[in-house]
Amino acid sequence: MIIPAIDLIDGKVVRLYQGDYEQTTQYSVDPIDVVNQYADDGAQWLHIVDLTGAKDTSKRQLKLIADMVATKRMRFQSGGGVRSKADVQGLLNAGVERVVIGSLAVTQPEIVEQWMTEFGPEHIVLALDINIDEAGNKFVATHGWQKDSGVSIESLIERYSKVGLQHVLCTDISRDGTLQGANEKLYAEVAKSFPKIQWQASGGIGSLNDIEILKPTKVAGVILGRALLEGKFTVKEAIERWADK
């Protein structure tokens, strides 16, 4: 499945380069218009990243997110600095079907496991940002990629699988925002190791050929951000390429 993504700062559509707030590109499009455009092109899900809320949870853009959900044009998953049960509940109350949880899944797994049990694993997506070292070890980074946790993605998946983990959004940090192509080797490896997980591939996709390359990896979803906003191709074209066997 093709899943377009939209990053929001103070109600504006933006993209960060390599997760750096100092390298922000703002796009002159309205978030609601983007929802309608992507839905018209056939998207069934939208991935929303609340970058304002990630920096300051008291400024979470819940009204805007609720307005986007209220279009009823597609289904939504959203995250960005989710740090408390109230954050999870707030997004679910806004109509988001899946809440995306990043750093906390690594630093405080006991809490996230409780949320999975309480809200249901179908409503939680673990967003795991990966650094791959020279030996091929896949370590999860936290705090906006500033810290290497020393925790391998494999050990984390094994732990959360015990509470019914279903969805993982996996990003190769070295590729994100670069349009240099996705790391198909990474996704093929994790999907083969954990076939019951619905993997979402994120980072680096800049062409329709990059989507084509991911098809044999068996990922369930492909997250597309910058390439769509910069007109490299449309959601419709991406969906057609993904469906073309």
Biggest alpha carbon distance in the chain? 47
In this prediction, residue 197 carries a pLDDT of 98
Least confident of 7-11, 174-178, 237-241: 174-178
Q: Which two tokens stand for residue 144?
A: 């906006």
Structural domain span for residue 12: 2-243
Q: Would the pLDDT of 223 be above 60?
A: yes
pLDDT, position 112: 98
* Selected catalytic residue, list 20, 33, 56, 129: 129
Q: How far apart are CA 183 and CA 181, in angstroms?
A: 7
Tally the domains of the chain. 1
* 178 confidence band (pLDDT: 50, 70, 90): low
In the numeric block, the tokens 């694993």 are attached to 121
In terms of average pLDDT, the best of 27-31, 53-57, 91-95 is 91-95
Q: What angle do CA 198, 62, 55 make, to 5 degrees?
A: 80
The DSSP call for residue 55 is H
- The yes-or-no verdict on residue 176 having pLDDT over 80 is no
Q: Say if residues 173 and 130 touch (Cβ distance below 8 Å).
A: yes
Q: Residues with Cβ < 8 Å from 87, sequence gap 6 or more?
A: 53, 57, 60, 81, 99
Query: Residue 95: which region, alpha, beta or left (left: phi > 0; alpha: psi -120 to 50)?
Result: left
- Whether the predicted pLDDT of 145 surpasses 60: no
Kindly report the number of other CB atoms within 10 A of residue 68's CB atom: 25
Q: pLDDT (tens digit, 9 = 90+) per residue, 70-79?
A: 999 999 999 9
Confidence of residue 46 (pLDDT cuts 50, 70, 90): very high
Residue 7 a catalytic site member: yes
CATH number of the CATH domain containing 35 = 3.20.20.70
Give pLDDT, residue 76: 98
User: Tokens 């899946």 identify what position?
Assistant: 98
141 vs 101 pLDDT, higher one: 101
- DSSP E strands, 95-188: 98-101, 124-132, 138-142, 147-152, 167-172
pLDDT at residue 144 greater than cutoff 60: no
**Separation between Cα atoms, residue 242 and residue 28, nearest integer Å:** 28
Least confident of 154-163, 168-177, 202-211, 217-226: 168-177
Give Rg (Cα) of the chain: 17
Q: Is 127's pLDDT higher than 80?
A: yes
The answer to whether 176 is a known catalytic residue is no
Residue 190's Cα: distance from chain center in Å?
Answer: 16
**What does DSSP say about strands 12-17 and 2-9: parallel, antiparallel, or unpaired?**
antiparallel
- Residue 17 has a pLDDT of 64
> Of 227, 234, 236, whose CA–CA distance to 27 is shortest?
227
Q: What is the pLDDT of residue 141?
A: 83
Contact between 129 and 146 (Cβ < 8 Å): no
